[in-house]
Amino acid sequence: MTFQHPEWIYVAVPLLLLAVALRFWRRHYWGHPLVAQLRTEIGRPNPILRLPTILEGAAVIFLLIGLLGPVYPFVLNRIERGGLQIMIVLDLSQSMEKPLGKGTRMDAVKVSTTEFIKRRPGDAIGLAVFSNNSYLVSPATFDHDSLLSYLKLVNVQTLVNEGYTAIGEGLATAQSFFAFSRERGQRAKGQVIVL
């Protein structure tokens, strides 16, 4: 663990010492000969009475740690890759339920798409689906495991009450994503739509 703002230690420690000194300096004790006798008769004070002081000290320590800005260094690493940006546009219309071999067209598309994603480790791949309308399921990402989990979730029932094939909508969604990523300055060797 490292700290983003270690310079706060130079301000916080003197302030902390000053606060402790003021706390003890402000305490007033009454000197009386009966104090020793009362102390033996009453006994030690209940430890719970010190709980507010302990909590106050813990709060100050946690505040100091928060000001220092603790971070784990590996979180700050950026992924820099120069592959393609690929957007897979998947048809979820009713025609994908038709049988093809041992399964349906959707099953065949999912198998081939999974193989395609696994063979492209250096490319950012995204997923858009369409039927009557088109939706972006996942933007182009290098996290292919999450993309494959999204691919497993989508099926013909994902877009309820839709059943037509609006290919243009799917292509427009992919093109809009590419335009957005160019505006944000994301660099890629090329941008490809797989239908």
C-alpha to C-alpha distance for 99 and 108, rounded to whole angstroms: 10
- pLDDT tens per residue across span 88-128: 999 998 888 888 888 999 999 999 999 999 999 889 999 99
Is the per-residue pLDDT at 27 higher than 70?
no
Q: What is the mean pLDDT of the chain?
A: 83
Cα–Cα distance list, 3 to 9, 62, 67, 75, 78 (Å): 11, 14, 9, 13, 18
Percent of the chain with pLDDT over 90: 31
pLDDT of residue 165: 82
Is the per-residue pLDDT at 76 higher than 70?
no
Let me know: does 62 contact 167? Beta carbons within 8 Å: no
C-alpha to C-alpha distance for 154 and 159, rounded to whole angstroms: 9
Alpha-carbon torsion (171, 173, 176, 181), positive or negative:
negative
pLDDT of residue 56: 86
CA gyration radius, the chain: 32
- pLDDT tens per residue across span 144-161: 999 999 999 998 888 877
pLDDT of residue 77: 46
Q: Where are the alpha helices (DSSP H) in 69-194?
A: 105-118, 144-153, 167-183
Is the per-residue pLDDT at 37 higher than 90?
no
pLDDT of residue 151: 94
pLDDT of residue 49: 81
Is the per-residue pLDDT at 194 higher than 70?
yes
Q: 110 vs 2, which has greater pLDDT?
A: 110
Average pLDDT over every residue of 46-64: 85
Domains along the sequence of the chain with CATH: 2-76 (no CATH), 85-194 (3.40.50.410)
pLDDT of residue 70: 84
The one-letter amino acid at 48: I
Q: Where are the alpha helices (DSSP H) in 74-165?
A: 105-118, 144-153
Let me know: does 145 contact 111? Beta carbons within 8 Å: no
